[in-house]
Amino acid sequence: MSDLRITHIGGPTALIEVGGWRLLTDPTFDPPGQRYTFGWGTSSRKRAGPAITVAELPPIDAVLLSHDHHGDNLDRAGRDVLGTARTVLTTPAGARRLGRNARGLAPWTGTRLQAPGRPTIDVTATPARHGPPLSRPLTGQVTGFALTWEGQQHGALWISGDTVLHGGLRHVADRLSVGTALLHLGGVRFPINGPIRYTMTAAQAVDLCRLLRPHTAIPVHYEGWHHFHEGREAIERRIAAAPADIRNRFHWLPTGTPTRISS
């Protein structure tokens, strides 16, 4: 089986390359400085651009889109990328809005990526909740993704999507053996909502890794936007205080550089 390579492009956006497949998560390629609204009086400004431009991307086989309705997960330039991919996997509501090549997956349903000369990748949607209990009517549908293929040594590649720690993620730990976890962190919050968080904090990520026991945990979605309230330094402090068995599972990817991951 070919090596797994992951390139963190910025924010939630990562290029996953394995066995000839090129998969892209949550495309965000706009330049910094623009402001985006998220509904219900919330907005944010983008602080940093991507480490790789759209023009520098290789051909994309599939986009794994946690949700389509927030600009920090799918921005204007990112929408142009969707049309170039063979398949876009996302939530059922997102697929209805996007149409074209988008396919909606409800939690714990799946599909297969197949092509001659390449390994078959099974993709399973996993639960995500983009805020506190009962917030889904406001925050909309969000999904994570678990990817499995023949030859994985440590378990599935799992992308959390934008989510807080909740019962659905605990079910992920019960149902999946996770080798590599891409964790959307940042502790997202907005002044209008006070202390309410809309993505995992570092403390929640540590607690989740106690349950998941992934071989490798990779933070993404922690920088580049004004509403991300836990950057790398804060996350590193919390991880440093965790037991060594948990602390040593976390690895940071240099943005823009393909990194080999033991799968």
pTM of the entire predicted model: 0.95
Q: Is there a domain that residue 262 lies in?
A: no
- Classified as helix, coil or strand, 45 is strand
Q: What is the pLDDT of residue 40?
A: 66
Count up the domains in the chain and report the number: 1
pLDDT tens-digit readout, 161-181: 999 999 999 999 999 999 999
Residue 221 contacts residue 162 (beta carbons within 8 Å): yes
Q: Is there a domain that residue 247 lies in?
A: yes
Residue 218 contacts residue 253 (beta carbons within 8 Å): yes
- Classified as helix, coil or strand, 216 is strand
Angle (deg, nearest 10), helices 232-240 and 202-212: 50
Q: What is the residue range of 204's domain?
A: 4-253
Q: What is the pLDDT of residue 2?
A: 55
Q: Is there a domain that residue 214 lies in?
A: yes
Number of H helices, E strands in the chain: 7, 15
Q: Is there a domain that residue 231 lies in?
A: yes
Residue 123: its H or E element: strand 121-127
Q: Is there a domain that residue 42 lies in?
A: yes
Q: Is there a domain that residue 133 lies in?
A: yes
Residue 129: half-sphere exposure toward Cβ, Cα within 13 Å: 17
CA distances from 160 to 25, 45, 66, 169 (A): 11, 23, 8, 8
Residue 188 contacts residue 73 (beta carbons within 8 Å): no
**CA gyration radius, the chain:** 17
CA–CA distance, 162 with 73 (Å, rounded to integer) = 9
**CATH code at position 138:** 3.60.15.10
Q: Is there a domain that residue 259 lies in?
A: no
Q: Is there a domain that residue 263 lies in?
A: no
Please identify every stretch of the chain with a pLDDT value under 50, giving residue numbers as ranges: 1
Q: What is the pLDDT of residue 1?
A: 47
Residue 180 contacts residue 216 (beta carbons within 8 Å): yes
